[in-house]
Copies of this chain bind each other. A is one copy, B any other.
Amino acid sequence: MREAYHVELEQLADHLAGMSVQVADAMERATRALLEVDLALAEQVISDDAKVDDARAECEEQAYALLALQAPVATDLRTVLAAIHAAESLERMGDLALHVAKAARRRHPEPVLPDAVRDDFARMGDLDVKLARRVEQIIKTKDVAAAKDLETEDDAVDDIHRHLFTVLMDRDWPHGVAAAVDVTLLGRFYERFADHAVSVARRMIFVVTGKMPGYGTDDEI
């Protein structure tokens, strides 16, 4: 049983790594659609989101089967539950990329972003995509040090997000309220995407070390 359990757990990890690639690609394309006012790319992200939802459902099924058939206990049990949480976060990251793509589609053929904040979103997009690709590597390699580094990247996203507010709050913001509303929501989508990437990385640290960083020791059972 131990052998079968670990083979199935590896398959589940592969599935989660695959979801990380899906949401990294989605955010990369959504950001390009936003910056380059590319409707076809936005439509692609929107129609591809169903695949992320399906992948999440498959991960859950796989995790449920593992729990039902192997009845793991202690750390093994927590590992499977961490995977279920990670699948939920990854699906949410897909939703956030979808929201970005929908914003690009809604305003098409007008650009959503005023030039003043284009670079900020390009950088947030780069960071978000990098975070999701790191998550894939962390799931594959179980590299705890890399997982911890993710928090630094997330800080960079938070810095840009805060900077956006100072740009918006400037009395001389000349782009009107509608653009400010779009920038506010989009900024939040990018920031939440990064938060969820960190949350997946933290769950992976737990899977490897048995300890959840900053969330108690989580090893009572």
Contacts and interface: CB of A to CB of B under 8 A. Distances in A.
A interface bracket (residues with beta carbon within 8 Å of B): 20 to 34
Given A173-B177, A181-B180, A185-B188, A64 B77 contact: yes
Contacts of A177: 168-169, 173, 177, 180
Nearest to A170: B177
Q: What is the count of identical protomers in the complex?
A: 2
Interface string A129-166: 00000000000000000000000000000000000010
A7 interface: no
A65 interface: yes
Nearest to A74: B68
Interface string A79-102: 001001100100000000000000
A221 B64 contact: yes
Interface of A: 57, 61, 64-65, 67-68, 71, 73-74, 77-78, 81, 84-85, 88, 165, 168-169, 173, 177-178, 180-181, 184-185, 188, 215-216, 220-221
